[in-house]
Amino acid sequence: MSEKKSESSYEDKQDHIPSWKTPEIEWFANVYAGKEYNIEFTIPEFTAVCPKTGLPDFGSIFIEYIPRERCVELKSLKEYMMAYRNVGIFHENVVNKILEDFVQAVDPIYVKVIGDYNVRGGVKTIVKREYKA
């Protein structure tokens, strides 16, 4: 007897996230291209919306990268992060979307994105993803 696969009540509700048009992450030329060094950003007041409850989710986003030819311009990164403020999105999708947009914008040698969310309902969530060129 085969088991019937149950569908989530969120089926198809986050499918648009990979193609969601976010503000552009701008960059400037890395005048030390060819020299390997790390850059780290912390966004300690990151906010998005829980797609189940509609309540805000709070957390910190950490980004560490090794630039190639381009470095991220900080004001545009701030505006990019603020775009999530009113979006209903799962924690996992936030981290994946940020990493993919970051790679597309600056083509780094390496980048790691960590979403460290505040406790909600007795559960602490940390999501990590890395990319290596």
The two structure tokens encoding residue 86:
């009113």
Contacts of 99 (CB under 8 A, 6+ apart): 111, 113, 129, 131
Contacts of 66 (CB under 8 A, 6+ apart): 36, 37, 38, 39, 108, 109, 110, 111
The residue from 12, 15, 57, 107 that is catalytic is 57
Task: Decide if 107 is catalytic.
Answer: no
Task: Decide if 71 is catalytic.
Answer: no
The residue from 15, 50, 71, 116 that is catalytic is 50
CB-count exposure of residue 66 (10 Å: 0-12, 13-18, 19+): middle
Output helix, strand, coil percentages for the chain, rounded to the nearest 5: 20, 35, 45
Catalytic amino acids? 50, 57
